[in-house]
Structure 1
């Protein structure tokens, strides 16, 4: 503990030396819907926290709905006195913020690793899954890929407008994969990539995607699943900030346009044993088949995680590379679980179903639980799409059905934690019902 505090204190003091103009640091953590909450600390107070002073925030901040409101979930929020819970600083995450109007820093905090972790905190849920796998001698290597849209900064009666081509000034309304779009939007994309690198994120490939103003940025592979999910969360925050600074809006909304492809969160996962051998590649790849079967079995029960809101369900089906059934295949982007071509050392699964606005900690936790369950159950998967284009099993396509499918699933309750599953499902149910409590213009057109 003393060594841990010394490391944090050295990190804060080095940051102050390198950034003497920074007076405040945002201490942030991800809540259940995938939004950052936290507090802005004076840099002097942060140094005291790093030295061992308590860091406490309301426990129920994790339970905030998509619009920031609190829902009654069991005794939480309204019958528990709204207690504080200990947090700790995440080493290595203190970085400068370059997209704000004033010099600022930010640093991740979490309840995992404290004396009383919050059972339903997303980072703690993933930490417990990774710890259990480690005890079994399984070590994941993970890489995220995130798609997002750029929009014009100004909304039109609340609706998004196509991003303007910086060279021509025209709307980027031609969906394509042309490399020239990377050149035309190079200024904002380069700023996004450099800012992410300044946050410690290993940015690799940048792609102009099919939708107008749509791009994808990939991250490097990491043998630390928590840090991989940290990268995905921090990237979303910095990308939105940079876009506003550059005169755009960036959004990871799953389906901003009905007529164009949605934005997904693709997660590549390999599994290695203590000796560095790829677990999935052993015995003529039989463990790979078992892992795939486990993922597909649990996938219908994880839909509230993979599609965390009403809009995310709009992304499923009807457009390019978005499945409506649980399926798998080799080098097949129509599959939920794709097996990219690779050598045995790098054999991995690519889970493609989650929307870009899903919570990266929970998405990775759900995927790992599926792989773990498959390796334990040792069942054969259904036929891959390469052999049967109609292969696949149904999964829920609306939130309330999805919540019912998740809440009582025994494997998820065991491996993600029953308390988390109950809290998460009720949060999603309440958010969905709150979303319905508004009459929109279409409803008046149809029924007035």
Structure 2
């Protein structure tokens, strides 16, 4: 982009012409737990930012815990003076917000691409991985798939209730894959898809999943990994907003019901060289085997990214298609790394382990580092599940064990950044400890 200021300024002015009713724009970015933070700017001030005025937010906003609190992490948060850090506008992301009661816009911001990027900002972590791969002549093409649940808008003593079938008024408590469920919930689902497209997201397939009120929406394959992760992040925000507008709650919580399937984030990744050749198909797919081996080797050390909270670990090994060991297989949905049937041009992996509430920037970064490591190490993987149904290697199933496995892993510290790994692990450790600080009613029932 020869003149980013001119391009951004044109984008803001065009938006103002198309949406003269919008007076404010939310400038938003994803923090470590995967929540949006930011500021609401008057649109005339946004035009000044687009023209080159500084855009600064507190650096430590990236470090917020799952409940929005600050943890002491090294010298951050309490011993650093809470400094501001530069952000920039992400071109092409200024879009209208249609689910709020008042006209509003939103636009992504990031520290990546600034003079002093924040080393532990999720988007910056992914940007560095993609830049390194590009220098190696490796060009990923990525597609996300996200599962989520619809709940009734009203909670029952804090507990979720099944979404009401708009046709019958009854709870949608019959888990199935019937196409009629898409028809019965078409009003809210169509609005979700339409709103996502208005955000620039390439929505493709919509599926009624197995759980009651559970659905999956897929995105198109994109050669820009940052944009693919942007889509996943923005989709979660718009979907929750649209659901509330229709009288539902939408949640990407990993395991809202113990007796029903959890929600996952499935990521399809293929790798190409500069000439457009599929690198995974090289040498009669030997490169694919090497890439899979790298993914499986690092997977046990990436569990705090793939299962980023206490609830996400509940999803593992429960009901269907959620593994408890690092495994792979051809056309096997019980595998963490699935190889869908395809021609050599479209050969890819489908990484199925991450929970739907994981941070999409970090999930993709971890997957790409695994693929990169495998292509470099050139080792063969363990047997696929198709050949040995018991094949697999163990990975941590509790957060503190997972953090210990991640923090000192040399490949992750090198390729994701040692500063990020230390900050992220401490954030997850503190979140886990904070979660333990509340006494559950069950404890009184069992032990009082």
TM-score (norm 1): 1.00
- Post-superposition Cα deviations, 1:281-326, rounded to whole Å, max 9, x if no partner, equal 0110000000000000000000000000000000000310000000
Alpha-carbon separation, structure 2, partners of 1:187 and 1:60: 40
- Post-superposition Cα deviations, 1:352-378, rounded to whole Å, max 9, x if no partner, equal 000000000000000000000000000
- Post-superposition Cα deviations, 1:105-145, rounded to whole Å, max 9, x if no partner, equal 00000000000000000000000000000000000000000
- Post-superposition Cα deviations, 1:224-265, rounded to whole Å, max 9, x if no partner, equal 000000000000000000000000000000000000000000
TM-score (norm 2): 1.00
- Post-superposition Cα deviations, 1:66-95, rounded to whole Å, max 9, x if no partner, equal 000000000000000000000000000000
**Pair 1:387–1:61, CA change in 2 (3 A):** same
Deviation at 1:425, TM superposition (A): 0.1
Alpha-carbon separation, structure 2, partners of 1:150 and 1:257: 12
Structure 1: tracts of 5 or more residues without a match? none
Alpha-carbon separation, structure 2, partners of 1:337 and 1:318: 17
- Post-superposition Cα deviations, 1:398-436, rounded to whole Å, max 9, x if no partner, equal 000000000000000000000000000000000000000
Alpha-carbon separation, structure 2, partners of 1:40 and 1:2: 28
Alpha-carbon separation, structure 1, partners of 2:117 and 2:273: 28
Deviation at 1:381, TM superposition (A): 0.1
- SS of residue paired to 1:210: coil
- Post-superposition Cα deviations, 1:41-83, rounded to whole Å, max 9, x if no partner, equal 0000000000000000000000000000000000000000000
Alpha-carbon separation, structure 2, partners of 1:198 and 1:82: 36
Higher mean C-alpha displacement, 364-373 vs 438-447: 438-447
1:306 matches 2:330: no
Pairs aligned (count):
448
- SS of residue paired to 1:2: coil
- Post-superposition Cα deviations, 1:125-182, rounded to whole Å, max 9, x if no partner, equal 0000000000000000000000000000000000000000001000000100000000
Alpha-carbon separation, structure 2, partners of 1:151 and 1:341: 34
Alpha-carbon separation, structure 2, partners of 1:208 and 1:144: 17
**What's the counterpart of residue 390 of structure 2?**
390
Alpha-carbon separation, structure 2, partners of 1:374 and 1:343: 22
Deviation at 1:2, TM superposition (A): 6.7
Structure 2: tracts of 5 or more residues without a match? none
Alpha-carbon separation, structure 1, partners of 2:347 and 2:284: 12
Alpha-carbon separation, structure 2, partners of 1:309 and 1:378: 33
Map 1:24-423 to 2 at 5 A: 24-423=24-423
Alpha-carbon separation, structure 2, partners of 1:287 and 1:118: 34
- Post-superposition Cα deviations, 1:157-208, rounded to whole Å, max 9, x if no partner, equal 0000000000100000010000000000000000000000000000000000
Alpha-carbon separation, structure 2, partners of 1:268 and 1:319: 23
**Pair 1:172–1:76, CA change in 2 (3 A):** same
Alpha-carbon separation, structure 2, partners of 1:51 and 1:357: 35
Alpha-carbon separation, structure 1, partners of 2:33 and 2:221: 25
Name segments (4+ residues, structure 1) moved above 2 Å: none
Higher mean C-alpha displacement, 1-10 vs 408-417: 1-10
CA root-mean-square deviation = 0.5
Alpha-carbon separation, structure 2, partners of 1:54 and 1:319: 50
